[in-house]
Amino acid sequence: MSDPVTPVRRLRGKDVGIPPRQLDFRLSEELPRWFYGNNATASLFVAVLSASFPPGEQFFVRSVNHFKDRVTDPRLRAQVAGFTGQEIIHSREHDRLNEALRARDIDAEVPERAVAAAIWLIDRLFPARFRLACTGQAEHLTALLAEEILAGEAFRSLIDDRLVEMWLWHALEELEHKAVSYDVYDVVGNRRVERLLAEPALLATVGLATLGSWAWLLASTGTWRRPDDLRTGMRLLFGSDGLLGGIWPRLKEFRQPNFHPAQRDTVGLEQLWRDRLFGPDGTLNDQLRHRSA
């Protein structure tokens, strides 16, 4: 009599370092309207970022999962599952933050709709593989932003204490899954010409939607009539030590012939914040629905 065959358990996201953590952030009623550096200009830009995440991350998930049946490696399949779970939860929590912003007279629905319209255009203009290249470029940008948030002190010192852990969690998970879309793109046929075109395609659609809706918020809140606030906000965002100041020059890395997201080693940074947020004394353990995540 032959021995019974033990079924092989399918790998999940948490088995490959990309656990979808079921968090339920409790947003304080005392959250101020200008929550970033007590500055309207910068706060409105961060609000636009938050508003762009739900439609943006839904696009990322669609782009990657369009090709999931062509992924045969069990580890990469598990990474795709973890990536999908993390992005879905990010969208949900930023939806909740966007509701809180609307309650503070920041109309996050305008940038959300603008970005969604830009993505609708991308979906209809470009084939699936080019959309995946665009996802890889956008994930490169979010990984750079995540690294800035976790490695630098400026963001953590400027954003309101009642929001900082939400952004730290999001940044950590962006680094955990930063290579997934690119690895799927490698499977389906990585073409450098598509990577060269991805950035201008995104700038002409999502970039314009982002900047246009930010300008609308600056006008609708009257911030455009406050030159001191505008100057300070621009410095906080685009100055040499600002949130985005060091990111733009590195976007071109995606266009390099031998680019891969893992070339930038963030393993130690990820572990540092994984321990701080979810270790034995992690500051977010009380907001985890399932501690084993």
What are the pLDDT digits (tens) for 138-177? 999 999 999 999 998 889 999 999 999 999 999 999 999 9
**What mean pLDDT do residues 98-105 have?**
94
pLDDT band at 2; cut points 50, 70, 90: low
pLDDT confidence of residue 249: 85
Determine the average pLDDT of the residues in 258-276. 96
Kindly give the interhelix angle for 208-220 and 40-65, rounded to the nearest 10 degrees. 150
Residue 8 above 70 pLDDT?
A: no
- As assigned by CATH, the class of the 36-273 domain is mainly alpha
Q: At residue 231, does pLDDT exceed 80?
A: yes
176 closest CA partner among 41, 58, 86: 86
Q: Tell me: pLDDT of 5 over 90.
A: no
User: For 234-259, what is the mean pLDDT?
Assistant: 91
The percent of residues above 90 in pLDDT, for the chain, comes to: 85
Task: Give the mean model confidence (pLDDT) for residues 111-133.
Answer: 97
The pLDDT assigned to 293 comes to 44
Q: How far apart (Å, rounded) are the C-alpha atoms in residues 86 and 20?
A: 5
Task: Please state, in angstroms and rounded to a whole number, the distance separating the CA atoms of residues 234 and 28.
Answer: 27
| Domain ranges, ordered by start, for the chain | 36-273
* pLDDT at position 113: 97
Give the percent of the chain with pLDDT over 70: 96
Among 167-171, 280-284, 288-292, name the most confident range.
167-171
pLDDT band of residue 3 (cuts 50, 70, 90) is low
pLDDT of residue 160: 95
Q: Which pLDDT belongs to residue 4?
A: 55
Confidence tier at 20 by pLDDT (50, 70, 90): very high
Asked whether residue 235 carries a pLDDT value surpassing 80, the answer given is yes
Residue type (1 letter), 66 = H
**Listed residue (3, 101, 5, 119) closest to 54, CA to CA:** 119
- Looking at residue 270, its amino acid is E
Instruction: For the full predicted model, state whether its pTM sits above 0.85.
Output: yes
138: nearest Cα among 214, 242, 59 = 59
